[in-house]
Amino acid sequence: MARRIIFPIIIFLTLLAAANVRSVPLFVLAIAEIIFAGFMIALALFQRSRLTAEPVRSFVHLRKGDTYDCRIKVDNLSPFPVSRFRVDLTHGYLPDAKQQVSLYGGTDKNEGFLRIDLDNKYCGLNRVELKNIKCYDFLLLSAFSKKADSSVQIAVLPDKALKMRILYDPQPAITNVSDQATEQTAVANGGTEPKDIRPYRQGDPVKHIYWKQSAKMNELWVREFNEDADPYPVVKTYCPSPSATGLEKYDTFARILYALLSGVSDISDRFIFRRSFADGAYDDYLISDTAQIISVLVCLYREDFRALNELYVNEDITPAFELAADPHTLALSRDGQVIKTFEGDVSDAEINDTVIYIYN
């Protein structure tokens, strides 16, 4: 800044001295200074037009607590090196709570890189947005900015070890019922076309155990059902906004939901993730592996579920059981009944210690 003020003053004083003493050499010097300043300005403008900056990656996901080495590639397409430039950027989870950072560097006629380490303390979407790139001339006498419209999104996921335990309660929910009612209950929980009963084999779903027959025979027996009629477990929630819930509560909700989805995946090869809307409508997605659970979480962060189109289920689902996670109250529900409520600062250990019982 001082150089940009002092140099025009020097030109002015040179012209003033040349006018006062009517010295031709001073006039020539003043004209040379003006031409030099114009050349520096023209060079800075030219280099600015040939200088671009963008993140090396536009999207990345990592685990909570990991530091991300955010690299910004700067391309200089002019035939001259750039002595100094500045990239202005913002980063943060919430639009109204962004931190502003300026990075300085220089580059020759090839590409260069700037870097900044970002701490990801909360689960959610940490956004880095490049705002401006400013180019200086060789003597730092002038500087010109232009917009740098690019960004990187960092999806911060919970610890992969997070997982709730979901167990089938071995005690029947209703006793002293008729064989017909027992049959209807088994069909509702295991399928629509029971084929037979047989002794339990390792790997059989616990929900197919025929408790009445098992008690009579003093060993486990299971009912067999057609697989295509087997209802899926359903986990439902709705899209929260970090601005509405607060960053700490949003972080807790993301950890609870991830642990819940991981727990359900342990007891069922496939389950339904149900995205609910305020008007009562919902979308169903069929989830079958950990990568798809991560995709669900990323879509929640982005509030955009188009990436799950191939998993969309376009039919009515009768749940084997239904679990729900509320992002505002941090409550878990089973078949519409609240069974567990968490505090906003709940630890990973407390989430992992959570046990949910599902009635057969």
User: Which pLDDT tens digit goes with each residue over 297-345?
Assistant: 999 999 999 999 999 998 888 898 999 999 999 999 999 999 999 988 8
pLDDT digits 0-9 by tens, 60-103: 999 999 999 999 999 988 888 888 899 999 999 998 889 999 99
Decide if pLDDT at 213 tops 90. Answer: no
Determine the Cα–Cα distance for residues 316 and 254; give it in Å rounded to an integer: 27
Decide if pLDDT at 178 tops 50. Answer: no
Read off the DSSP letter of residue 206: G
Q: How sure is the predictor about 289, in pLDDT bands with cuts at 50, 70 and 90?
A: very high
Comparing 189 with 246, which gets the higher pLDDT?
A: 246
Please return the burial class of 359, using the count of CB atoms within 10 Å of its CB with bins 0-12, 13-18 and 19+.
Answer: middle
Q: What is the DSSP string of 207-269?
A: GGB-HHHHHHHTS-EEEEE-GGGPPPPEEEEE---HHHH-HHHHHHHHHHHHHHHHHHHHH-S
Half-sphere exposure of 113 (CA within 13 A, CB side): 8
- This prediction has a pTM of 0.75
Q: How sure is the predictor about 207, in pLDDT bands with cuts at 50, 70 and 90?
A: low
Determine the Cα–Cα distance for residues 304 and 17; give it in Å rounded to an integer: 68
Structure tokens belonging to residue 175: 């006793």
- Determine the pLDDT at residue 182: 43
Mean pLDDT of 159-163: 95
Determine the Cα–Cα distance for residues 256 and 51; give it in Å rounded to an integer: 45
Q: How sure is the predictor about 195, in pLDDT bands with cuts at 50, 70 and 90?
A: low
- The CA-atom distances, in angstroms, between 338 and each of 62, 97, 233, 234 are 32, 34, 17, 16
pLDDT digits 0-9 by tens, 31-53: 888 888 888 888 888 888 889 99
Neighbour order of strands in the sheet with 282-287: 282-287, 271-276, 234-238, 322-325, 331-334, 337-341
Determine the Cα–Cα distance for residues 225 and 170; give it in Å rounded to an integer: 20
- Determine the pLDDT at residue 205: 67
- Determine the pLDDT at residue 171: 58
Mean pLDDT of 198-209: 72
